[in-house]
Chains A and B, each alone.
Chain A
Amino acid sequence: MAQKNILGKFAEKFAESLLTVSGALTTVAILFITIFLFKEGFGLFKTPAIEDGYGLYVNSENPVSQLRPLDVKNMYDEEITNWNAVDGMNQEIMVFRIDDVFDYYSDEDLGENYSLLPEKLSHIISDHKNIIAYVPKEFAPSAVQGVKEVKVLNNSLSDFFLGREWLPTATPSPLFGSLPLILGTLLVSLIAIVLALPLGLGVAVYLSELADERMRKFLKPVIELLAGIPSVVYGFFGLVVVAPLVQKAFNLPVGETAFTGGLILAIMALPTIISVAEDAISNTPRAMREASLALGATQWQTIHKVVIPYAGSGISAAAVLGIGRAVGETMAVLMITGNAAVIPSSIFEPVRTIPATIAAELGEAPSGGQHYQALFLLGCILFLISMMISVISDMISKKKTYKSV
């Protein structure tokens, strides 16, 4: 009997410690997500911004010894054509890719399995003072004289956050400027919240102040069903129905635009906005409404001047959470915003958001490569935004405001 008691006590202690451990589960999950996203993402800043296994070589008389990723890209796109643009000599840049070697030598000249290629490359480079050559490291020019390797700088934080071009597969230097994606995300979310907030607020007021019990019982499941529809179904609906409508209505070349995305996101954010705002509104003390009505205010004046200001913090929490929903949404946006990674100049142009970029490109990015790391870095941005939104909405809804009452 005594033994059973001890065993029982032990089992109890064990179970309790198990419960304690699982209590920490979500904290551990957050911690792990942080560690893994940042670990993978920040690798981008630690490696030179040139494709793995390739090098850039110039004539040894060329004073330039290092280049920014953007400069390399601009050289190969012929947007920079003179070495003086990168603090070099005043000479036209001669861009050279490995295929160009056949302009100088025939297949036979290069020997079996291109064994003579490194030597021939050395000749070409030392013969041309203004050359920049992008070649695989396995065929790196063999000569020590007349040739030097140019160092490509690592991507910097400002390259990533302020760079205006997202060209993850460009060679020699892929560009990971996330500004178009960040702006695209903000634009789509902004459109969504501008459309959804008044609508959601109106429905919330209707639900908590005006609707009778029967109407409420009907509307509540409707809102829950809207929240339950999977985002890929919203995307499909947007693609097949809304995008053609938008295209026709505004006479656009394509229907997949930032506006289309914002429209669908607005619908998706509505349930969140409605339920949070409704909670806030119905929490307004009865005494306040009655005091207002007793002073002769109409019901609308009471709602407008008393209830909504009182529920102000809850309503802003609803807006913040709605934005959060919109910022993180992936599938629907991926399917209907047209996916053009350019800085949007109008809401009727295709844009690309951060989540859509990750979803569209991660499958093709080789694991551990720069593109992969850049996508994880985008994930870090999303993660931080969602943390911020969660904390802000938490703070707002805790704060009791009595302003203007």
Chain B
Amino acid sequence: MNQKIKQKIAFFLFRLFSFFIVGILVSILGFIVINGIGVINWDFLTKSPTEGMTAGGIFPAIVGTFYLVIGSLIFAVPLGIMSAIYTTEYAGNGYIVRFIRLMTNNLASVPSIVFGLFGMALFVNNLGFGDSILAGSLTLGLLTLPLIIRTSEEALKAVPDSYRSGSMALGASKLQTIRKVVLPSALPNILTGVILSVGRVSGETAPILFTVAAYFLPNLPQSIFDQAMALPYHLYVLATSGTDLEASRPMAYGTALVLIIIVLVFNLAATFMRQRLNKKFKQN
């Protein structure tokens, strides 16, 4: 009897914890949506900030974040996929792969501010790119590399070995097999990882603080050597260092909402895609 009561209490607590977590998410999202939704309109999305960031819009920040996402993916996606192909298809299962995997895990656990420091030391100062979209993209690309490698590895591993054997038996070389058979069937899953990294990259602030982000720019960036504004940094600026914090609050809510929508849409898209793919895979 006593044990049954204990069990009831414990299970009740666990259920409560789970609802509590849902509550946290709902209150964060709810708070930002309720306060931000009124701010968002066409002008907010297409105009520059005006009057000391207390009015106008966030267009330059949206554009900047867009450039940074594209830039970082250009670096990280091909390299990440190639690295994953090497570890899953070529390197076997020995000492080297274990070491590479450890290093990938290590890289994934490096705090984002350390990426910022490194990006500043290498790209901004040593290579002389200055504060630029190029330096920021490279830094963000490096940050998201482990994520892309990991998801690509999983995608490649999920391709049944019979596909490979079948292709080889028809006389195709290993590289042909990878290019024509393995990669196409792994592609949807790889894409899930890429979508996840879009969400990750567009929300990161610390790595771009010293590599690209600008407080305010009157013009849109013209080349990859220009500085850019970015949504997460813009939110940070609005929240902490505006000239008139109270007056810029609505802008901050609006920026937070736009940022959250972008990040969560990509996250949900990845989750949704993964679920559908898994279902398809099971049916096969």
Question: Are these two chains actual partners, yes or no?
Answer: yes
Residues of chain A having any CB pair with chain B under 8 Å: 8, 12, 15-16, 18-20, 22-27, 29-30, 32-33, 36-37, 39-40, 199, 202-203, 205-207, 210-211, 215, 219-226, 228-237, 239-241, 267, 270, 298-301, 303-304, 321, 324, 327-331, 335, 355, 358-359, 362-363, 367, 375-376, 379, 382-383, 386-387, 389-391, 394
For A203, give its contact among B21, B29, B260 (CB under 8 Å): B21
Judging by beta carbons under 8 Å apart, are B264 and A22 in contact?
no
Judging by beta carbons under 8 Å apart, are B106 and A25 in contact?
no
Can you identify 17 A-B contacts, CB atoms within 8 angstroms? Answer: A8-B173, A19-B90, A20-B90, A23-B87, A25-B83, A26-B146, A37-B117, A221-B268, A222-B21, A222-B25, A223-B21, A230-B205, A298-B4, A300-B3, A335-B239, A359-B113, A394-B102
Judging by beta carbons under 8 Å apart, are A355 and B7 in contact?
no
B218 to chain A, nearest CB (A): 20
Lowest 9 CB-CB distances: which A-B pairs, in order?
A328-B111, A230-B203, A23-B86, A300-B7, A22-B82, A202-B17, A206-B14, A228-B267, A390-B109
Judging by beta carbons under 8 Å apart, are B121 and A331 in contact?
no
- A363-B145 contact given A199-B21, A328-B112, CB 8 Å threshold: no
Judging by beta carbons under 8 Å apart, are A26 and B107 in contact?
yes
Which residues of chain A come closer than 8 Å to B279, judged between CB atoms?
Answer: none
In whole angstroms, what is the CA distance A218 to B121 when docked? Answer: 44
Judging by beta carbons under 8 Å apart, are B11 and A210 in contact?
yes
Q: What 0/1 readout, one digit per residue, does chain B (107-139) give for beta carbons within 8 Å of chain A?
A: 111111111111011100110000000000000
Which residues of chain B come closer than 8 Å to A330, judged between CB atoms?
Answer: 111-113, 205-206
B104 in the interface (beta carbon within 8 A): yes
In whole angstroms, what is the CA distance A24 to B200 when docked? Answer: 23
Judging by beta carbons under 8 Å apart, are A335 and B236 in contact?
yes
The chain B residue with its CB closest to the CB of A32 is: B122
In whole angstroms, what is the CA distance A300 to B113 when docked? Answer: 42
List residues of B (39-56) whose CB comes within 8 Å of A's CBs: none
Scoring B20, B25, B117, B206 by chain A CB atoms within 10 A of each residue's CB, the highest score goes to B117
In whole angstroms, what is the CA distance A267 to B106 when docked? Answer: 23
In whole angstroms, what is the CA distance A21 to B4 when docked? Answer: 59
Q: How many residues in B have their beta carbons less than 8 Å from beta carbons of A?
A: 86
In whole angstroms, what is the CA distance A29 to B100 when docked? Answer: 11
Judging by beta carbons under 8 Å apart, are B114 and A231 in contact?
no
A108 to chain B, nearest CB (A): 43
- A225-B264 contact given A37-B118, A330-B111, A355-B113, CB 8 Å threshold: yes
Judging by beta carbons under 8 Å apart, are A203 and B111 in contact?
no
- A267-B24 contact given A221-B268, A236-B256, CB 8 Å threshold: yes
For B209, give its contact among A203, A236, A362 (CB under 8 Å): A362
In whole angstroms, what is the CA distance A392 to B142 when docked? Answer: 23
Judging by beta carbons under 8 Å apart, are B120 and A23 in contact?
no
For A233, give its contact among B110, B203, B209, B210 (CB under 8 Å): B203
Q: How many inter-chain contacts with C-beta < 8 Å in the A-B complex? A: 249
B169 in the interface (beta carbon within 8 A): no
Judging by beta carbons under 8 Å apart, are A12 and B175 in contact?
yes
Which residues of chain A come closer than 8 Å to B25, judged between CB atoms?
Answer: 222, 225-226
For A222, give its contact among B4, B22, B83, B249 (CB under 8 Å): B22
For A29, give its contact among B87, B142, B232, B252 (CB under 8 Å): B142
- A23-B111 contact given A32-B122, A222-B22, CB 8 Å threshold: no
Known: A303-B10, A383-B114; 12 extra A-B contacts, CB below 8 A, are A19-B83, A20-B90, A33-B115, A36-B121, A206-B11, A224-B271, A226-B25, A231-B205, A240-B249, A328-B114, A330-B112, A362-B209
B15 in the interface (beta carbon within 8 A): yes
Judging by beta carbons under 8 Å apart, are B111 and A329 in contact?
yes
Judging by beta carbons under 8 Å apart, are B209 and A199 in contact?
no
Judging by beta carbons under 8 Å apart, are B109 and A386 in contact?
yes
Judging by beta carbons under 8 Å apart, are A300 and B10 in contact?
yes
- A237-B14 contact given A29-B145, A32-B118, A355-B113, CB 8 Å threshold: no
Judging by beta carbons under 8 Å apart, are A225 and B18 in contact?
no
Scoring B4, B89, B175 by chain A CB atoms within 10 A of each residue's CB, the highest score goes to B175
In whole angstroms, what is the CA distance A303 to B7 when docked? Answer: 10
Which residues of chain B come closer than 8 Å to A30, judged between CB atoms?
Answer: 103, 106-107
Which residues of chain A come closer than 8 Å to B32, judged between CB atoms?
Answer: 233, 237
For B28, give its contact among A25, A36, A229 (CB under 8 Å): A229
The chain B residue with its CB closest to the CB of A219 is: B18
For B18, give its contact among A25, A207, A394 (CB under 8 Å): A207
Which residues of chain B come closer than 8 Å to A387, judged between CB atoms?
Answer: 106, 109
In whole angstroms, what is the CA distance A20 to B97 when docked? Answer: 11
Judging by beta carbons under 8 Å apart, are B263 and A230 in contact?
yes
In whole angstroms, what is the CA distance A206 to B263 when docked? Answer: 27
B50 to chain A, nearest CB (A): 21
B37 in the interface (beta carbon within 8 A): no
In whole angstroms, what is the CA distance A42 to B35 when docked? Answer: 47
Which residues of chain A come closer than 8 Å to B233, judged between CB atoms?
Answer: 232
In whole angstroms, what is the CA distance A111 to B113 when docked? Answer: 50
Which residues of chain A come closer than 8 Å to B107, judged between CB atoms?
Answer: 26, 29-30
B240 in the interface (beta carbon within 8 A): yes
The chain A residue with its CB closest to the CB of B262 is: A230
Judging by beta carbons under 8 Å apart, are A27 and B100 in contact?
yes
B208 to chain A, nearest CB (A): 11
Which residues of chain B come closer than 8 Å to A270, judged between CB atoms?
Answer: 21
A305 to chain B, nearest CB (A): 11
Which residues of chain B come closer than 8 Å to A362, judged between CB atoms?
Answer: 116-117, 120, 209-210
B204 in the interface (beta carbon within 8 A): yes
In whole angstroms, what is the CA distance A77 to B199 when docked? Answer: 49
Which residues of chain A come closer than 8 Å to B263, judged between CB atoms?
Answer: 228-230
- A226-B21 contact given A36-B121, A233-B260, A382-B114, CB 8 Å threshold: yes
In whole angstroms, what is the CA distance A220 to B275 when docked? Answer: 12
In whole angstroms, what is the CA distance A299 to B17 when docked? Answer: 19
- A382-B111 contact given A298-B3, A330-B205, CB 8 Å threshold: yes
